[in-house]
Amino acid sequence: MCDGGAVERSCIRPTTMAHEGSVERKCADDQRRRRAPLFAQLHLKINSGLRTRTAFRGCRSGMGKSSHLLFASLLTDTMSSKNVTLHNGVLMPLVGYGTWQAEGELLRSGLKKALEVGYRHIDTAFVYGNEDIVGDVLKQWFDSGSGKRDDVFVTTKLAMCYHRRSDVERSLKESLGKLKLDHVDLFLVHVPMALKFSDGKTLDMVDDHCVPDNVDFLETWKGMEDVLKKGMTRAIGLSNFNIGQIQKVLDNCTIKPHNLQVECHLYWPQFELHEFCKKHNISFTAYSPIGSPGRRGHRLASIGVDFSKQHEPLDDPLVKNVAIKHGKSPAHVLMRWLMQRDIIVIPKSTSPAHIVANFQLFDFQLSDAEMKSLNEVKIRERIFPFCWARNHPDFPFEK
């Protein structure tokens, strides 16, 4: 089993070592938090604010028997804040800008707009093929004096063909070069399945099925721990893993995952998986929080899927009624429902109007009755069943 406290302490960058005393004081404060009532803990988090970005890196990640009271994604400001706290103290913005299927000038202008609006969390991936554009926009933003590196939280994901321990650092180095950064804030294993790519960019496929590579994801996780220790990322996590696979990582790791990113929306609410992550202080990110309306144009997503038979959360009658009541859009309701479950959302859009609207999530709150009704919606449907990977021995979903 992993605790990770001593290891994570060794990951403090030289620039933070001068704050050793404040780190120890923060750790002492953390001990008091664990003994305090939940409301008092929350108050302390609010007072700490964004200054916890580096100071908490030295605190132990092991949280003791009362860790369930300090769920990793405890909001730092009772939903008026835009941050959650990972189990190592790193702050992660609650709303991010997703970039899957975004490219070229649309991504460039969209990301500029997102930063202008106030987004401070950007989600990308090696396989998206757009890290270079994200890097260009960020460099321009930094150089213009509009913001500093510490103002933005950048997530990227491991290349699916770089699952060997020795290749994990290579993947992140390539991503950092494109992003023009010396570190990312969160680095995720994109899928538990090691895959073969013919040229490092194109997924090998035979009869619409992937070609597995023989690498255990536990080996991959060791590589993830390596890059965290080297300061190349501030946190590490998983994506598209199931409970059994996460448990296997927990049983064999030195540093436990800080975050899990999976498909999660009204029709695929992930209640059991979310509760499992809460129990283990793993923060939770929802991709496709409104149902991914743009998925229909993606070839891989369409393999084995009849889009005409899938339901759209945005069209749900209950969602529409709740939206009218609050003077909001269905998209607002769908994301707010997730946020009130302490789930991070990363909506994607290149439309300036939608980019602005997707960030207007902090000025209303769903009632307990509305949350309960949304929780009890009958439709249960995964949008991305990964049919192209059903032949893989580490396929994460039910076959």
Q: Residue 343: what residue type? A: I
Residue 198: what are its φ and ψ, rounded to 5°?
-65, -35
Nearest to 237 by CA among 193, 169, 284: 284
pLDDT of residue 194: 84
DSSP labels for 136-195?
HHHHHHHHTTS--GGG-EEEEE--TT--SHHHHHHHHHHHHHHHT-S-BSEEEE--SS-B
What integer pLDDT is reported at residue 14 of this predicted model?
32
pLDDT given for residue 250 in this prediction: 99
Q: State residue 40's pLDDT score.
A: 32
Q: CA 388, CA 120: separation in Å to the nearest integer? A: 33
Q: Quick one: pLDDT at residue 291?
A: 84
Check if the beta carbon of residue 246 is closer than 8 Å to that of residue 276: yes
* Residue 32 pLDDT: 40
- Break the chain into its structural domains and give their ranges: 92-389
119 in catalytic set: no
Catalytic residue chosen out of the listed positions 128, 162, 267, 287: 128
Model pTM score: 0.78
Within the chain, which residues score under 70 in pLDDT? Answer: 1-81, 101, 199-206, 209-210, 212, 292-306, 399
CATH architecture of 92-389: Alpha-Beta Barrel (3.20)
pLDDT for the residue numbered 198: 73
